[in-house]
């Protein structure tokens, strides 16, 4: 664990990726909790319009991630492309703060900020390129450490931004903070990231068209693995939807209990993300992920039957350990599915997030139609179990980490 942290910090390319990823998470954590409030209450968008914009932005982000991944694999490095994406963040966040118009908000979310979201997958792609000389298990551990930095940002930033804006009549300054942080990302990439990093012409994969790139993503072996990973990730979305409702409903808690539980789980996640980074050096990624999913299935079943906030807190101690695996381990796994094209394979991270959100929305609609919030939690547990078992079957029940 400590050796992986040392590797990240002493390798210039990985260090630049780590700092940039933290500040990328900072910008998201500063604005995401307030985006719906700003859009609906301050700028006047309807609930339906905001939902439509959010869905369209997610679709655009997936398409952009694939296109950017394909372009990145053609280049000799990621540095220039990453700087352009950071500039899109400055433009999008800055425009929302400065103009304060619903039309500008919609444009910014759909175009510059959807493009800026591609920074997520490309930073992990750059991290994979800068760690190519490491063993496979160490590469997976590096991906886990990089992902942990986003969780650290989400622990620190929302509370600090909320405190800073507690006496403000508007939440729009959160977008100014995000614009400044996006500028920091650009400066970090410019000053800290080594030039190149994509290999020379002899080691780069042959150029392919976008049509061929989409064909590579849609191959059955890849598609099945992405679907199984999305079923696993969907459990986190299911929990995010039903946990507050169960706590303030059948468990008899108050909204403040939800904040306590979320903070507790986030702290557990950060600690155990590093533990899972150590475990994947011994167990294979799919075996480690299967273990994490099993813990999260136990948590969701426990949550479905919780009758007090204390029961939810106890269950969350188990769930936080499992969530740490589900948050991080699919990153390294998905990046290996098209290992010779780091940019394109990293676009699978965005596809995974999109599919997971869609699956969770379907489970929520189906579960609430035939039962209630506990039913949704149980259905999420079943989906996670299917995804975990499916991945183990697809990988031939490999248990030990590759040497």
Write out pLDDT tens, residues 256-303: 787 778 778 878 888 888 788 788 878 888 999 999 999 999 999 999
Asked whether the predicted pLDDT for residue 231 surpasses 70, the reply is yes
Domain with CATH 1.20.1250.20 in the chain: 2-193, 213-394
Residue 182 has pLDDT above 90, yes or no: yes
Q: Which fold has domain 2-193?
A: Growth Hormone; Chain: A; (1.20.1250)
Burial class (CB in 10 A: 0-12, 13-18, 19+), 71: middle
Segment of 148-157, 158-167, 382-391 carrying the highest mean pLDDT: 382-391
pLDDT in tens, 52-111: 888 888 889 888 888 888 887 776 567 888 999 999 999 999 999 999 999 999 999 999
Task: Output the pLDDT for position 198.
Answer: 47
Q: What is the pLDDT of residue 244?
A: 84
Q: Specify the CATH class of 213-394 in words.
A: mainly alpha
What pLDDT sits at residue 89? 96
Q: What pLDDT score was predicted for residue 378?
A: 95
User: pTM of the full predicted structure?
Assistant: 0.80
pLDDT class of 196 with cuts at 50, 70, 90: low
pLDDT at 377 over 90: yes
pLDDT band at 201 (very low <50, low <70, confident <90, very high): very low
Residues 6+ apart with CB under 8 A from 292: 276, 321, 322, 323, 324, 325, 326, 329
In this prediction, residue 49 carries a pLDDT of 86
- pLDDT band, very low/low/confident/very high, at 20 (cuts 50, 70, 90): very high
Q: Where are the alpha helices (DSSP H) in 100-209?
A: 102-110, 112-116, 118-130, 136-164, 173-192
Q: How far apart are CA 345 and CA 341, in angstroms?
A: 6
CB-based contacts of 160, cutoff 8 Å, min separation 6: none
Percent of all residues in the chain with a pLDDT value above 70, rounded to a whole number: 94
Confidence of residue 204 (pLDDT cuts 50, 70, 90): low
Mean pLDDT (the chain, rounded): 86
Across residues 374-394, what is the average pLDDT?
94
166 by Cβ neighbours in 10 Å (0-12 / 13-18 / 19+) ranks as exposed
Percent of the chain clearing pLDDT 90 (strictly above): 36
């Amino acid at each position: 664990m400590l050796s992986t942290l040392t590797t990240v910090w002493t390798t210039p390319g990985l260090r630049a990726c780590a700092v940039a990823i933290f500040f990328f998470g900072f910008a998201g954590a500063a604005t995401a909790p307030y985006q719906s409030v700003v859009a609906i209450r301050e700028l006047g968008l309807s609930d339906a319009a905001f939902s439509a914009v959010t869905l369209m932005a997610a679709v655009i982000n997936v398409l952009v991630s694939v296109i950017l991944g394909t372009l990145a694999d053609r280049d000799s490095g990621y540095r220039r492309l990453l700087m352009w994406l950071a500039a899109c963040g400055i433009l999008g966040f800055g425009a929302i703060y400065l103009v304060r118009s619903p039309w500008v908000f919609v444009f910014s979310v759909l175009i510059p900020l959807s493009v800026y979201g591609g920074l997520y997958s490309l930073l992990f792609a750059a991290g994979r390129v800068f760690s190519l000389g490491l063993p496979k298990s160490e590469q997976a551990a590096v991906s886990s450490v990089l992902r942990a930095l986003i969780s650290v940002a989400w622990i620190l930033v929302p509370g600090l931004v909320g405190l800073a804006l507690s006496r403000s009549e508007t939440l729009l300054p959160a977008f100014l903070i995000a614009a400044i942080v996006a500028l920091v990302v650009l400066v970090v990439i410019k000053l800290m990231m080594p030039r190149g990093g994509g290999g020379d012409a002899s080691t780069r994969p042959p150029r392919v068209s976008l049509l061929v790139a989409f064909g590579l993503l849609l191959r059955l072996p890849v598609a099945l693995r992405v679907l199984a990973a999305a079923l696993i990730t969907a459990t986190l979305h299911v929990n995010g939807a039903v946990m507050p409702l169960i706590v303030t409903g059948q468990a008899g808690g108050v909204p403040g209990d939800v904040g306590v539980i979320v903070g507790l789980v986030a702290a557990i996640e950060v600690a155990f993300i590093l533990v899972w980074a150590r475990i994947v050096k011994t167990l294979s990624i799919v075996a480690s992920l299967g273990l994490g999913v099993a813990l999260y299935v136990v948590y969701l079943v426990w949550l479905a039957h919780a009758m007090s906030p204390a029961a939810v807190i106890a269950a969350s101690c188990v769930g936080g350990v499992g969530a740490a695996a589900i948050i991080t381990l699919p990153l390294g796994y998905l990046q290996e599915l098209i290992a010779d094209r780091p940019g394109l394979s990293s676009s699978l991270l965005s596809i995974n997030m999109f599919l997971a959100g869609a699956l969770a929305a379907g489970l929520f609609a189906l579960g609430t139609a035939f039962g209630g919030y506990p039913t949704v939690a149980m259905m999420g547990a079943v989906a996670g179990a299917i995804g975990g078992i499916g991945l183990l079957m697809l990988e031939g029940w490999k248990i030990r980490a590759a040497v």
